[in-house]
Amino acid sequence: DTAVSQTPKYLVTQMGNDKSIKCEQNLGHDTMYWYKQDSKKFLKIMFSYNNKELIINETVPNRFSPKSPDKAHLNLHINSLELGDSAVYFCASSQVGVNEQFFGPGTRLTVL
């Protein structure tokens, strides 16, 4: 009964490829997020989705695009992968008005 799940856990790919990371939450929350954790463990918000509407886009390159087929899912698509995209990507969810965010286990992306 995992609350926030991500697949895959590890993703190794070549520069220039396109890849997707999936995220699902079974908490009934209405807002989902993507964070990037770099090699120095610094976490930064990338996107949030509320009721299928993009709320935040924090200076993220347009090669990154979040896609939310329904309230329980927020997938991250990345086009033309670059070396600098190597990082751990975390999905999270929360209920608007209740500020606690629940995080998934992370996806470690390595671009070769």
Partner 1 sequence: AQSVTQPDIHITVSEGASLELRCNYSYGATPYLFWYVQSPGQGLQLLLKYFSGDTLVQGIKGFEAEFKRSQSSFNLRKPSVHWSDAAEYFCAVRDSGGGADGLTFGKGTHLIIQP
Kindly state whether residue 41 participates in binding partner 1, applying the rule CB under 8 A.
yes
Q: Which of 19, 21, 7, 25 is nearest to 92 (CA)?
A: 25
Strand 10-13 versus strand 107-111 pairing type: parallel
Distance CA 6, CA 95 (A): 19
Residue 77: C-alpha distances to residues 27, 34, 41 (Å):
23, 11, 22
Q: Which two tokens stand for residue 56?
A: 């935040």
* # residues near partner 1 by CB under 8 A: 28
Nearest approach in angstroms of CB 47 to partner 1 is 8
At its nearest, how many Å lie between partner 1 and the CB of residue 74? Answer: 12
- Are 109 and 87 in contact, with CB atoms under 8 Å apart? yes
CB of 66 to partner 1, least distance (A): 12
Residue 56 CB, nearest approach to partner 1 (Å): 6
Q: List binders of partner 1 among 50-79 (CB under 8 A).
A: 50, 55-56, 58
Q: Enumerate binding residues for partner 1 (CB under 8 A).
A: 4, 31, 33, 35, 40-45, 48, 50, 55-56, 58, 90, 92, 94, 96-97, 99-106
